[in-house]
Amino acid sequence: MCCIRVVVSFVALAGLLVSCGTQFPTRYERIENDRLRPLAFVFDNKGLAEAAPGDTVTLHAYFTGVPVNDIEWSMTSPVILNTFGVDTFSRTGNLSIVGEPRWFTGGETDSVILDFIVPPNTIREAFSRVTNILSLLPANIHDSVPQQFRDIPVSTLITVMELLSGTPSGNSTSESDSLGAQLAAVFFAAPQGASPDSLSTPQPINQGLAILLQLFTAQFKILARVNGRDNIEATYAVRYNSRMIDKYPDVLVNRNPQVEWIGVYKIKGTGVVLFDPLKESHLIEAFYPLHARDTIPIEIGFSYFLGADSSTAVLDSGQTIQGRKEPEIIYYDWFYRNDDVIAGVPQDSLLALSVNTGNSTVQLLPPVDTRMKNFGVWVVAYDSKIGEKLRPIGFAFRHATGVFAYSDAYLKAHR
Amino acid sequence: MRLLYITCMLLLGTILQSGNLCAATPEDTSGFILELDISADSAEFESSHSDSLRPDIDSVISEPLDKDPVLLKFVEAAYPGELAKQGIAGTVVLSLLINGQGTVDSIAVIKGLHRDIDSAVAIAVRQFIFSPAIADSLAVAVLLTYEYHITLDKIVSTIEEYVNFSGRVVERGTRTPVPDATVAISFGDSAFDTALGIPFGVYLNKIGSFDGQHLESGKIITHTDSLGQFAFKSLPSGPIKIIIPVPGYEKFEELERISREELTEVVFRIDRVSYADYEIVVYGKSERKEVSRRTLTLSEVRKIPGFGGDAVKVVQALPGVARSSFGSGAIYVRGSPTWDSKFYLDGVNLPQLYHFGGIKSTYNSEALSSVSLYPGGFGSRYGGAIAGVIEIEGREAQRDRAHGFGDANLIDASVMVEGPLGENGGILVSARRSYVGDLLNFALKQFDWINLPVTVAPYYYDYTVRTDYDLTKGNHLFLTLFGSTDKLELVVPFIRGGSREVDELTDRVKQQNGFHMGIFGWNIDIGSKMKNELRASATRGDGSTSIFGLAKWEFTYWEFCLRNQLSYSLFQNVTANIGLDLDQLLYTQRSVFPLSDNLFWRDTIDMPFGITGAYANLEWRLWDKLLLTPSLRYDYFSELTYDGSIFPEFWDYHIENESSISGEPALRLTARYEYMQDHTIKAAVGSYSQTPQPVGLATHEKFGNPGLGATKARHLVAGYEWQATDLATADLQLYHNYQWEIPRFATSADIAADPENAPRLLPDGEGRMYGLELLLRHDQGKHFFGWLAYTLSRTERFSPVKGAYTLYDRDQTHNLQLIASSRLPREWQLGVRTRFVSGNPYTPVIGRVYNITGRSYRPISGEENSARNDPFFQLDLRIDKKIIFSTWILSFYLDVQNVLSFVYASPEFTIYNYDYTERGIISSPLIPSLGLRVEF
């Protein structure tokens, strides 16, 4: 056993040596006062994270780090994605901002709120050069495209979507409108036997329609140049779903998630680097909600975790192109800042976050230098469902501050 | 027996001129007494007939006898046994009075040896009977002087010839028999064996005459046979000293006690002067036909620092092979990516060269005989590669006895046994498994402060079974079974992966691949001018990769290779080789992975790949000093559907040169001219082609371009060789490679022009590589081997965006490597490897965009490969120590890579901080490796 330990020690040493690499002075999750940190762009379309062509969307842009003084907004034409994720677009132009952006600056988080209009011809332009609907799809799901759609011109299908969704047609013609109307009546008049008139009343979604809704999802980019220096882009998906839910209640739409609270879990034991509050609630020694300048007692013998809660009330489902419905997954991006400026102290001695796994909890490493007491945390929650084509992403944002209160034993140990 | 003299004393003195006996006339009738001298050897009398023992008489007497007295009856004197030990022997001079009846009347001892001997001689002589001496027709009495030579021969002749001391001489540690070794025995106590009965020296003289041994300077000497066996006969009892002086071995001396009555059997284990070279060592010059070939023998590579004894990895230390990144396992031959080279095992395709990360080669180096690198300009034997070829050759099992070893280090453990299989065969079995992952997991659990519930379980294993059999001389078969498996599983339970539609287990990364192959080889000499080499292999492989339920690949394949080469000596100076080279891969792949539009792509590839090749070449020695090797080859690519070429292409001719067959002809020529002894100039030119890479993906309907044709290349090589000594060589080569029709990724502009139909790969890529390679090499000598390798090179790709050539990723202007290994006393060996390599080019980041929905920064790249990393410098050390036991050897080694990592951080990988505002490097770490090895 002794020799095993020797070997193990040797291996561990070798492993540590191998793992040596560059340590950057900056870290993604640490907010610093000398550089801009874009936190989140939250798009809100009457409670939805998505929009249809022509909709007016409210954008909440959150920043911290350096103050935001100026933002130049622009947008791109619809994005063309290649197989490997490289996107291209043909042009950029002004973002159609409605009214004036509203600025909320001067605090720990700067935010800008503005309303913009989604170009009405976004989808039609995005697919203007596509002739074959199958080229939009992986070969393995070509079979799931109803045979009757395959020979219909893409422009006609878009007309159908516009008719069904009540979207003002950008470039349609009377002929295509006529054909589209007929097709809509034929293909989407579920249940069978219903007359075209029944389209005006809510219907269960047709599988073909579900596929078309995904196929005809387009993206454009909103570009922001902040303070004349930092470039930010947000990809925004546009589809007809939001216009369909009145007629087809089971058309899926995505809402922005919500972060209802932030707090700190006090966990029994040291060295715990991962913690699941649902499965390991028995480990919870205490929970301290964080709002503004809330006190967090720090003691020896415990581990601490930041935690956030996203309301299950806005947990949506996604639908894969094959029609499989699954709940979306919420990911969390955590950020922190040491608010007490202590010159010459290595960052390792201050507050830090451990492995950021995208979970709702992340290990909080209390400062070793106990002169550091005030801190801020930010969390950005966003949803995801792989398998649903160009699914719009919902975002939520929350910020809180706190103050560490060290126990005597902790102070003594870290004197 | 010689007649000394004869004197006539009597009246009828007679001169006897012949015979060893002078007769005297009978005293009663003739009154004559003749006095004669004779001498006689008792032993000869005993063993010879009397007729033949007539003494020569060369004296003169005044009255000649008509007839000499002839000894008719000889009676041997009984040697007094008690005197034999004293070894008394010599001549007793007697005066005999022979009467007229021929009997001895009286005897007088003129000169005696010993009283008892004289007496015994007298008794014997008295019983002699002679034919009477005749003088004047009368029997006369004669008085003659008789010399009786009494010896120990009679006693000595009774010494029996039997083996009473035998044994074997083997090499200590390896137990290898030492043939033709001199075994000498000296005797410390000549008086020990009191039962000898004769003097010790006489005894030695006698046994020294026995067949198979001889006496020399007081030592009995014999030699070992081919099995190291020796035997001594009839050694006297007592202490002896055995001395075994064998060149290349320490002088062996040992004391032993021998009994004449008992057989003593021993095994002597003698120490080599050095155990560092008992592997295969090739000295001197070997005939070279290729221009660029560089071959390493096993003994050269095992002790090179930094490679863990892995022979295949050592090619990375040769000129023309660029430095690959730590853990990549890539081999960049003359600037080309790994997939532009081919790897062969015994002439057939080797599906996987390395275990993951390039830790070790899949074929156990201990089962190899050589590794050859052809960095370019290779002959028509090889096809389907536009850069280089690496061929490794398995070795036959040693057949003299059973051998084996066990080796354990921090990464893996391996065992191998080999030995004879019947009279004409041999078998070698090896197995290896890694456990570095198990050790790491165990280590992590030992530290409380590491509490990540992450499980890492990488491991690999491989096995080799090779049997060889000689049907007849020049008719050799072998069968190799070889397999390898790599598995990696990283379980991260807190990860919320992708979809269970992809994989049920979304909390882990899994990777597995492996293969099992059989290789059949048959080499046969057909007469004196023709020989045939056949290789056939079948390989079954599979693999899968699953990444957190986000992506998954699964593949299976069967690969069949057949190579047959027939060589025929057309003339004394011309040998023709024709060959067939088939490699067919039946490949099935199923994959599912996410695309950028958030959908999963499910894909199946189910098609054959491979080459059907045929080739012919001439080895034409125009005159003694000039060897030309013109060659032709044709390769058909079954997976491609394009119009191949009619004529070999050395550049893009832009003329009508298309056939309806998706194949490419190749024309190659190498020349070697020894313009003066040990100085050779050489050159090669050739056209090459390969299926577009990466194979399968390149011609994929969605991700590649099904219409792609073969990628082509032209090699130009010129060089100079100097065989300075039997061990030292210098090799200088200049090369220029040009490649065209390389698949290149479509640019955004290409796709934007036709997003629906634009292929993802376009066939108009071009590349060029040129440079100089120098190799100064000292082969394994008594104390040293090593080499200095230097490559000056430039590797470029044509940029369609820029409209000009730009640096390729692995352009390394300077690559200097020094390798040296020295044998020290007491079985220590010290090795050093150092390398200085220009930093790799990289594309600088000139800006950044934060994709706030994708939650990541996207770099804005500057001009492609317009910047270069700092130079790479690495120093590796290795120390080996052998401890030789009687029947086995224990070895330890410590191999430390990148000793100077704390002094200079060599750039290995480039990394950026989260927003690309800071750039850093990950340097090669210091990697210590400790291992031990037991062999017998």
Q: What are the tens digits of pLDDT across the range A312-371?
A: 777 888 888 777 888 888 999 999 999 887 778 887 788 888 877 788 999 999 999 999
Q: Which residues of A touch B451 (CB under 8 A)?
A: 271-274
Confidence of residue B714 (pLDDT cuts 50, 70, 90): very high
d(CA B87, CA B91): 13
Q: Which positions ≥6 away from B591 have C-beta within 8 Å? A: B551, B552, B553, B554, B601, B602, B603, B604, B605
Which of A169-183, A379-393, B684-698 is least confident? A169-183
pLDDT of residue B193 exceeding 80, the answer is no
Q: Is the pLDDT of residue A11 over 70?
A: no
φ and ψ of B197, to 5 deg? 85, -15
Q: Which residues of A touch B600 (CB under 8 A)?
A: 138, 320, 386-387
Using DSSP's 3-state secondary structure scheme, residue B58 falls into coil
**Closest residue of chain B to A16, computed from CA coordinates:** B925
Task: Please tell me the number of Cα atoms within 13 Å of B512 on its side-chain side.
Answer: 10
Checking if the pLDDT of B89 tops 70, the result is yes
Contact B42, B149 (CB under 8 A): yes
Q: Are B902 and B861 in contact (CB under 8 A)?
A: no
Q: How many beta-carbon pairs under 8 angstroms link A with B?
A: 192
pLDDT (tens digit per residue) in A156-200: 888 888 887 877 665 556 665 666 666 666 555 544 444 444 444
Which DSSP state fits A199?
Answer: G
A386 at interface of B, judged by CB pairs closer than 8 A: yes
Say yes or no to pLDDT of B309 above 80: no
Average pLDDT over residues B748-776: 84
pLDDT at B499: 72
A6 touches chain B (CB under 8 A): no
- Please tell me the predicted confidence (pLDDT) of residue A53: 93
**What separation, in Å, do the N-terminal and C-terminal C-alpha atoms of chain B show?**
61
With a cut of 60, say whether residue B16 has pLDDT above it.
no
The tokens describing B815, both together, are: 């690559």
Q: How far apart are CA B79 and CA B92, in angstroms?
A: 12
Q: pLDDT tier at A19 (50, 70, 90 boundaries)?
A: very low
Which one has a higher pLDDT value, B611 or A147? B611
Which ranges constitute the DSSP H helices of B684-733? Answer: none
Sheet holding A284-290, edge to edge: A284-290, A259-268, A302-310, A361-365, A352-353
Question: Alpha-carbon distance B898 to B877, whole Å?
Answer: 8
Look at B328 and B70; give whichever has higher pLDDT. B70
Is B911's CB within 8 Å of A21's CB? yes
Average pLDDT over residues B330-358: 90
B559: confidence class by pLDDT, cuts 50, 70, 90: very high
Contact at CB, B851 and A233, closer than 8 angstroms:
yes
Question: Taking CB atoms and an 8 Å limit, are A231 and B921 in contact across chains?
Answer: no
Report pTM: 0.78
Do B499 and A387 count as a contact with CB atoms less than 8 A apart?
Answer: yes
Q: What is the DSSP string of A92-152?
A: EEE--EEEEEEEE-SSSSEEEEEEEEPPTTHHHHHTTT---GGGGS-GGGGGGS-HHHHTS
Crossing angle (nearest 10°) for helices A174-187 and A154-165: 70
**Do A405 and A356 contact (CB within 8 A), yes or no?**
no
pLDDT at B412 over 70: yes
Suggest the residue from A3, A5, A8 to mutate for an interface test with chain B (most B CBs closer than 10 A): A8
Chain A residues near residue B921 by CB distance under 8 angstroms: 22
List, in order, residues 6 or more apart from B818 with CB less than 8 Å away: B786, B787, B788, B789, B832, B833, B834, B835
Contacts of A153 in chain B (CB under 8 A): none
pLDDT at B850 over 70: yes
Cβ neighbours of A309 (radius 10 Å): 15
* Beta-carbon separation of B914 and A27 below 8 A: yes
Helical ranges in B109-152 per DSSP H: 115-126
| Cβ separation B755–A389 shorter than 8 A | no
Cβ contacts of A138 on chain B, cutoff 8 Å = 595, 599-603, 702
**ω into residue B800 within 30 of 0, thus cis?**
no
A139 in contact with chain B, both atoms CB, cutoff 8 A = yes
For strands A97-104 and A110-117, give the pairing: antiparallel
Radius of gyration of chain A, Cα coordinates, nearest whole angstrom = 26
CA-nearest residue to B923 within chain A is A21
Q: Percentage of chain A surpassing pLDDT 70?
A: 81
**B35 DSSP β-pair partners:** B143
Mean pLDDT value across residues B113-128: 90
Distance CA B50, CA B128 (A): 11
Mean pLDDT, residues A240-255 taken together:
86
- The string of DSSP letters for A303-351 reads EEEEEEEE-GGG--EEE-TTS-EEE-EEEEEEEEEE-S--TT--GGGS-
Average confidence (pLDDT) over B711-731: 92
Q: Are residues B235 and B182 in contact, defined by beta-carbon separation less than 8 angstroms? A: no
Indicate whether B30 pLDDT > 80.
no
Residue A284, burial from CB neighbour count under 10 angstroms (0-12, 13-18, 19+): middle
What is the mean predicted confidence (pLDDT) over A275-284?
Answer: 87
Contact assignment for B751 to A10 by CB distance below 8 Å: no
For chain B, what percent of residues have pLDDT higher than 90?
Answer: 41
Give the minimum alpha-carbon distance from B408 to chain A in angstroms, rounded to a whole number. Answer: 12
- pLDDT at position B261 is 83
Residue B6 has what pLDDT? Answer: 34
Compute the C-alpha angle B50/B51/B55, nearest 5°: 80
- pLDDT at res. B453: 61
Helix pair B436-445, A2-18: axis angle to 10 deg = 100
How confident is the model at residue A310, as a pLDDT?
Answer: 72
Tell me the pLDDT of chain A averaged across its residues.
82
User: What tokens were used for B274?
Assistant: 């050095």
Query: How does the average pLDDT of chain B come out, rounded?
Result: 84
Chain A contacts of B448, Cβ < 8 Å? 271
Q: When comparing pLDDT for B152 and B363, which is higher?
A: B363
Partners of B847 on chain A (C-beta within 8 Å) are 231
Looking at the complex, report in whole angstroms how far the Cα of residue B511 sits from the nearest Cα belonging to chain A.
Answer: 21
Residue A81's nearest CA partner among B748, B94, B635 is B748
% of chain B exceeding 70 in pLDDT: 88
Instruction: Answer yes or no: are the C-beta atoms of B721 and B679 closer than 8 Å.
Output: yes
Region B127-147 average pLDDT: 87
**Token duo for residue B333:** 């031959």
The closest alpha carbon to B95, from B78, B80, B79, B112, belongs to: B112
User: What residues of chain B lie within 8 A of the CB of A389, using their CB?
Assistant: 597-599
DSSP B177: B
Cα dihedral A137, A143, A144, A149 in deg (nearest 10): 80
Phi, then psi, of B231 in degrees rounded to 5: -150, 140
Cβ of A5 within 8 Å of Cβ of B597? The answer is: no
Question: CB contact, 8 Å: A2 with chain B?
Answer: no
* A180 contacts: CB under 8 Å, gap ≥ 6: A156, A157, A159, A160, A162, A163, A172
Judge: A320–B927 Cβ closer than 8 Å, yes or no.
no
